[in-house]
Amino acid sequence: MPTARVALRRVVFPTNLGWMAMAGSGDVLWRLVFGHRSVAAAERALGPHWLERSRSVAWNAALRRLLQRYAAGQYIEFDEVPVECGASSEFARRVLQALRRVGYSRTTTYAALAAEAGSPKAARAVGNRMAANPIPLVVPCHRVVCSSGRIGYYSAVGGVATKRRLLEMERRCIAGLPPVQTTMDTRHANMNAPARH
């Protein structure tokens, strides 16, 4: 979590993956949530710490546009986006750095990430870190699957169904196929609406 002296900003905006909310400071992303049915739900999902400590402003329009394009099924890499994931240990930092190198439409396993982070027997710890990822999509925890071939868990709204949808959306984009129709309830979200702040 950022210190009290950091000037935090937040913004909520519509996407084809539901309402997203993000918070950060300067151009650094600290928190991202998606898949929500309303502005209020997206803001609540940020958590009380972020709502109490951040100002709602028109923040980071470039990243907002990238996330909207990604949610629409376009090929977007987020590896240049500066992030602060609150990694509490050197192992956690190495895991998140390795995960950010997993490219669009590719997958890795919990065990492979553990090995790349220097602790080959720590697949379960990698899974725990993925479940606590504060910046899904940008730090692509949906691209981590089980060595057994199972898809594994996903802690974002919609759980495993959302993880499958994201992987399929990326696969279709790489194959040149049209995007999958959204299953998120965005009936009340005008995708051309300005961000809420």
Residues annotated as catalytic are 141
Select from 116, 180, 172, 174 the least CA-distant residue to 144. 116
3-class DSSP state of 171: helix
Q: Find all residues with CB under 8 Å of 22, minimum gap 6, and list them.
A: 10, 11, 29, 31, 32, 33, 59, 60, 63, 64, 67
The rounded distance, in Å, linking the Cα atoms of 159 and 177 is 24
Q: Which residues of 49-71 are buried (b: 16+ CB within 10 A; e: fewer)?
A: ebeebbebeebbeebbebbbebb
The rounded distance, in Å, linking the Cα atoms of 90 and 136 is 20
